[in-house]
Amino acid sequence: MRGGALPPALLCAALGLCLASADGRAALLGLAALVVTASAVAIAPVPATRSDGVLLGCWASIIVNAAMVHSRRALNDKAALALSLNTGVWTGAVIALAPSNMDLLEALPLALCAWPAAWARRRGQSIVLKVLASWLIAVAVLAATLQFLPVTPGYLPDHTD
Amino acid sequence: MRRAAPEIPGKLRERASVRERAAGPLALAIALAIAFGVAQVTPAYAHMGTGLPGGFESGFRHPLTGWDHLLAMVSVGIWGAFLGRPLIYALPVIFPVMMVGGAILGMFSVPMPPVELGIAVSVLVLGLCVCLAIEAPAWAACAIVATFAVFHGYAHGMELPSAVDPIGYSVGFVLATGLLHVFGIGIGLLNARPKGILVTRSLGVAVALAGGWYLCLALGL
């Protein structure tokens, strides 16, 4: 199984963690841009033959968003908007390939983790966000690799056999 | 690398500041919130009914099924708590990322030194690091953990099933690994309590003994 709501949900979560370092207005603007862009792209016709490229773009965007969480500098307004638009495009594109556009309603709320993340950051716990971002990077790298390896060697004798 | 002998408890109490104590539960709370959100996301166009295992639950269970992996991952968290900032957070960042690197090597069957031996040595060494409260320099601790993570990841990658939902599997796999570290950090924070260090170092002894046992098995002794 590929696609569906899970990759865009992870992408939105990564954006949420990323927007935690932006100021409140920029974060709100970013979330609005995400919703509008994702909704617009989700209803656009995306050819099923592009699914590999779309998913790869989604994983790459998760890595970029999560990597931005590790940046020492706060996210400026332009960067917040650019990342939100990029996230919206890939979120919408993956949803456009999904069986139902309603999957968008499951993915987008994950971006709201920007609020608890901003709260954690204000409390000086930005390292917690970095740990979570690194987990998202690990998931994205693993999932992107699995995309190119449809048959995994899981039924061979393992290291305990 | 040097052993930090009797002055450790006082030093550790200083390090286990209120922030550090709050960070573990906070990470857990945010991770669980995200995991809960992700769990609400339904699987989509799937090969349902193919008989293949897998998905979030299967991936989440995978790191919990082998004691060797489990002990090593929890020990990383405990050792991180011993070492304090920044390693208390750096080690749980490094381990999952390097483990995924190892998993990729495993999935592509890239030749590696004997994996069983590497895993057994990792349990032994990490157990010793905890029980002897070894204060390694940051670069050395990162290098040790990164190397062992590659071995653990390699074993997981070799065993990775052709899952129904590889993305859900990946999320569960990484989340379980990370939560084992957070669990280890939680145990390590016992150091801030009276006699807590006795508990954590005793756990280190138990892990090292288990590592010794695994090493004997790996060497065929």
CB contact under 8 A, A10 and B38: yes
Mapped onto helix, strand or coil, the DSSP state of residue A123 is coil
Please list the residues that pair with B135 across neighbouring strands: B2
Q: Please, which residues 32-91 of chain A have a Cβ atom closer than 8 Å to chain B?
A: none
Tell me what pLDDT residue A30 has.
92
What would the pLDDT profile of B166-177 be if each residue is shown by its tens digit? 677 778 888 888
Q: Is the pLDDT of residue B2 over 50?
A: no
Q: How confident is the model at residue B95 (pLDDT cuts 50, 70, 90)?
A: confident
**Residue B220 buriedness (CB in 10 A; 0-12 / 13-18 / 19+):** exposed
Tell me what pLDDT residue A89 has.
94
Query: CB atoms < 10 A from the CB of B168, how many?
Result: 26
Q: Is the pLDDT of residue B3 over 50?
A: no
Q: Is the pLDDT of residue B162 over 90?
A: no
What would the pLDDT profile of B14-46 be if each residue is shown by its tens digit? 444 444 444 555 656 666 666 666 555 544 333
How much is the mean pLDDT over chain A? Answer: 85
The C-alpha atoms of residue B124 and residue B207 are separated, in whole angstroms, by 7
Contacts of A6 in chain B (CB under 8 A): 38, 41, 43-44, 165, 167-168, 171
Evaluate whether residue A96 is within a structural domain.
yes
Evaluate whether residue A159 is within a structural domain.
no
Query: CB atoms < 10 A from the CB of A29, how many?
Result: 17
Tell me what pLDDT residue A100 has.
78
CB B186 within 8 A of CB B24: yes
Evaluate whether residue A154 is within a structural domain.
no
CA distance B132 to chain A (A): 27
Q: Is the pLDDT of residue A15 over 90?
A: yes
Contacts of A20 in chain B (CB under 8 A): none
Tell me what pLDDT residue B7 has.
43
The DSSP string of A40-90 is: HHHTS---GGGHHHHHHHHHHHHHHHHHHHT-SSPPPHHHHHHHHHHHHHH
CB contact under 8 A, B26 and A3: no
Average pLDDT over residues B107-117: 83
Return the closest-CA partner of residue A20 out of A123, A90, A105: A123
Tell me what pLDDT residue B164 has.
55
Evaluate whether residue A14 is within a structural domain.
yes
Average pLDDT over residues B51-56: 58
Q: Is A104 on the interface with B (CB under 8 A)?
A: no
Evaluate whether residue A55 is within a structural domain.
yes
Q: Is the pLDDT of residue B48 over 80?
A: no
Query: CB atoms < 10 A from the CB of B86, how many?
Result: 13
Evaluate whether residue A16 is within a structural domain.
yes
What would the pLDDT profile of B189-208 be if each residue is shown by its tens digit? 888 887 888 888 888 899 99
How many domains are there within chain A? 1
**Residue of chain A minimizing CA distance to B160:** A154
Tell me what pLDDT residue A155 has.
45
Evaluate whether residue A87 is within a structural domain.
yes
Tell me what pLDDT residue B25 has.
59
What would the pLDDT profile of A38-86 be if each residue is shown by its tens digit? 999 988 888 888 888 898 999 999 999 999 998 888 888 899 999 999 9
Question: Where is pLDDT greater, at A92 or B18?
Answer: A92
Domain parsing of chain B, residue ranges: 54-219
Locus of tokens 């339904």: B42
Tell me what pLDDT residue A59 has.
92
Query: CB atoms < 10 A from the CB of B123, how many?
Result: 27
Evaluate whether residue A153 is within a structural domain.
no
Share of chain A above pLDDT 70, in %: 91
Q: Is the pLDDT of residue B136 over 60?
A: yes
Domain that residue A111 falls in = 6-147
Tell me what pLDDT residue B58 has.
76
